[in-house]
Amino acid sequence: MDITGKIGTKTVTVIGNITYFWQFCIEVMANIFTFAKNIRIASLVLMRQILFTGFDALALVSFGGFIIGSVIILQGSAIFPNLANSQLMFTILVSVVTRELANFIPALILIARSGTAMTTELGNMVINNEVDALVSMNISPISYLVVPRTIAMVFSLVPLGIYFNIISLFAAGIVSQFLLNVNLADFSIKLFSQLTFLDVFISVMKSVSFAFAIAIISCYHGLKIDFARTEVPQRTSKAVVHSISAVIFLEILITIVSLQY
Amino acid sequence: MGKLEAKNITLRSSEKIVLDDVSVEIPWGELTLVMGPPDSGKQFFIKTMAGILIPSKGQILYNGINIYDGNIATQKKHDFRCSFVFQNGGLLANLTIYENLRLALDNFFHKMKDDEKVELIQNYLSRYNLPGIINKRPSELSVDNLKTVGFIRALMIDPVLLIMNEPFSDCELNTVDMLLEEIGKLKHRKLTMLVVNQTTANFEKIADWVIFMEHGKIVNKSKSDQQGMME
């Protein structure tokens, strides 16, 4: 095949994959609205996913939050020697932690922990005929496998984002008190004076959109695996790359939109 | 009494035609054995008959109605329940045996009470000498037990069509005998069965019909005692 033929074939494949992915997204969204009907059979999957994706990630998110909060305040103290009186430092803290990192870092943690687990698990289920078994029992793999994972990702990432936010700001306050001799009460007052409802709202919106993107992309790649076990690590790595790209894209998009307000 | 037929079924897999305009009537209340060399399309055929794969062309008709029309309500309306026994059991690895069996019951019998479902599962497992495995995961079971649980799951929903893919492969003789006895009872009850097997071994006495496939087409369908390969 000549170069033109190869480009043509590749273009058709890419367009086909994008179309298929959007159809998959639409089907997932449609099934989310009818999830209540399937809660009887899918509740166990939902509970297990929330436990694994949300609760089991608490330790790692706590560690990340503490480190980020501490590092930002330590770096800030080098730029603003009179930290307690610097309003700008608190503005930066709220902008960087609450608006950006409180969603972004937990999202990366969940891509690494749960996104990879979803792709691997669903891929192995396809290979072991488990997905076919569900279809043979008239159970939709979308409503039984994908929707509970998507809902669990939303119910995990939103609280984890809020939790990361609290831990980071708390760590910043503690480090300020003990290493920089800034009174914790003063720190809290100045911090909360900078925090608005819009900051929290944007933070939650980002968490929700990241959660949908991570879950749908990870499940899509898992169910796309065909026959061979060797496809599992390949698809998992693709899912990670695509999830990170989607999160970065959404991060930039929502930040640009939010800056208009 | 029902009438089940595949009508002009064409199925593609990875751009390759794996079922090529297949039309056949599956004799109702009888056991039909599907045979053929590797890559003849027999696996695709039974998965299409079970509604697992959707053909790019053609329909599966039950009493003249397209039974896999994308709406599960059609099957419920016509009281059509098809069960599939997978070669490896097809059990969900992250569920216990109880949860696997319960999933099938929860999906098909909405009105059945919880304690009735528990009792039914326990009765089935006792009947097949497997009471100790109820809380185990599929990975903890032998091939024989996996197949037996897959068989139980298929029977529990009281199907009108039972499709089995290599039900005896890798099984020990006593399991083969036990499953054969159960299949014999189902045949006596006039349950329609479609079975893929590499050879006629074990099916000489119980197969009513034999379908032979090659290159995605049915090349022969005959009464088992008339089939040359059965002799």
Q: Are B72 and A137 in contact (CB under 8 A)?
A: no
Say which residue the tokens 């697992």 belong to: B52
Q: Hey, is B209 helix, strand or coil?
A: strand
User: What ipTM describes this predicted complex?
Assistant: 0.89
Give the span between the Cα atoms of A185 and A198, in whole angstroms.
23
Band the pLDDT of A84: cuts 50, 70, 90.
low
Give the span between the Cα atoms of A146 and A140, in whole angstroms.
9
Contact flag A132-B90 (C-beta cutoff 8 Å): yes
CA B5 to chain centre: 16
Give the span between the Cα atoms of A161 and A204, in whole angstroms.
8
Q: Hey, is B20 helix, strand or coil?
A: strand
Contact flag B107-A129 (C-beta cutoff 8 Å): no
Measured in angstroms, the CA of B149 and the nearest CA of chain A are apart by 13
> What would the pLDDT profile of A215-247 be if each residue is shown by its tens digit?
999 999 999 988 788 889 999 999 999 999 999
What share of chain A in percent tops pLDDT 70? 99
Taking CB atoms and an 8 Å cutoff, what residues of chain B touch A31?
A: none
Taking CB atoms and an 8 Å cutoff, what residues of chain B touch A124?
A: 93
More confident call, B28 vs A181: B28
Nearest CA in chain B to A135: B52
Of B47, B110, B157, which is closest to A132 when you measure between CB atoms? B47
- Whether B115 is covered by a domain: the verdict is no
Taking CB atoms and an 8 Å cutoff, what residues of chain A touch B94?
A: 48, 121
Q: What is the pLDDT of residue B107?
A: 87
- Whether B220 is covered by a domain: the verdict is yes
CB pairs under 8 A between A and B: 55
Contact flag B75-A138 (C-beta cutoff 8 Å): yes
Band the pLDDT of A17: cuts 50, 70, 90.
confident
A254 has pLDDT over 70: yes
Strand partners of residue B163? B84, B194
- CATH code, domain carrying B225: 3.40.50.300
Residues of chain B whose pLDDT is less than 70? 226-231
Contact flag A137-B157 (C-beta cutoff 8 Å): yes
Contact flag B94-A41 (C-beta cutoff 8 Å): no
Residue B13 domain boundaries: 1-73+192-231
Torsion-angle region of residue A118: left (phi > 0), alpha (psi -120 to 50) or beta?
A: alpha
Contact flag B86-A137 (C-beta cutoff 8 Å): no
Nearest CA in chain B to A145: B92
- Whether B181 is covered by a domain: the verdict is no
Taking CB atoms and an 8 Å cutoff, what residues of chain B touch A132?
A: 47, 52, 84, 86, 90
Measured in angstroms, the CA of A103 and the nearest CA of chain B are apart by 30
Measured in angstroms, the CA of A41 and the nearest CA of chain B are apart by 6
Angle at the Cα of B127 (from B122 to B132), degrees rounded to 5? 55
CA A81 to chain centre: 35
DSSP B153: H
Q: What is the pLDDT of residue A258?
A: 87
Residues in contact with A152: Cβ distance below 8 Å, sequence separation at least 6, in sequence order: A46, A49, A50, A53, A54, A215
Number of structural domains in chain B: 1
Of B72, B90, B95, which is closest to A129 when you measure between CB atoms? B90
Q: What is the pLDDT of residue A43?
A: 87
Nearest CA in chain B to A124: B93
Q: Hey, is B196 helix, strand or coil?
A: strand
- Whether B18 is covered by a domain: the verdict is yes
Q: What is the pLDDT of residue B132?
A: 87
Measured in angstroms, the CA of B80 and the nearest CA of chain A are apart by 11
Measured in angstroms, the CA of B90 and the nearest CA of chain A are apart by 5
Give the span between the Cα atoms of B34 and B224, in whole angstroms.
11
Nearest CA in chain A to B73: A138
Q: What is the pLDDT of residue A101?
A: 92
Q: What is the pLDDT of residue A1?
A: 67
**For the residues A156-180, what does the mean pLDDT come to?**
92
Residue B117's Cβ-side half-sphere holds a number of Cα atoms within 13 Å equal to: 19
- Whether B93 is covered by a domain: the verdict is no
Of B47, B50, B88, which is closest to A128 when you measure between CB atoms? B88
Q: Are A217 and A241 in contact (CB under 8 A)?
A: no
- Whether B203 is covered by a domain: the verdict is yes
Q: How many helices (H) and strands (E) does chain A have?
A: 12, 0
Q: At B53, phi and psi to the nearest 5?
A: -110, 140
Q: What is the pLDDT of residue B110?
A: 84
Q: What sign does the CA torsion over A225, A230, A233, A237 have?
A: negative
Measured in angstroms, the CA of B31 and the nearest CA of chain A are apart by 19
Q: How many helices (H) and strands (E) does chain B have?
A: 6, 10
- Whether B5 is covered by a domain: the verdict is yes
Q: What is the pLDDT of residue A184?
A: 86
For A186-210, b where at least 16 C-beta lie within 10 A, e where not — what string? ebeebbeebeeeebbebbbbbbbbb
- Whether B26 is covered by a domain: the verdict is yes
A64 has pLDDT over 60: yes
Residues in contact with A111: Cβ distance below 8 Å, sequence separation at least 6, in sequence order: A214, A218, A240, A243, A244, A247
Measured in angstroms, the CA of A51 and the nearest CA of chain B are apart by 14
Q: Under an 8 Å CB criterion, which residues of B touch A?
A: 14, 47, 50-52, 72, 75, 82-84, 86-88, 90-95, 99, 103-104, 106-108, 110, 157
Give the span between the Cα atoms of B88 and B200, in whole angstroms.
20
Nearest CA in chain A to B154: A137
Q: Long-range contacts made by residues A64-67, C-beta under 8 angstroms, separation at least 24?
A: A64/A105, A64/A106, A64/A109, A64/A164, A65/A102, A65/A105, A65/A163, A65/A164, A65/A165, A65/A166, A65/A167, A65/A168, A65/A171, A66/A167, A66/A168, A66/A171, A67/A171
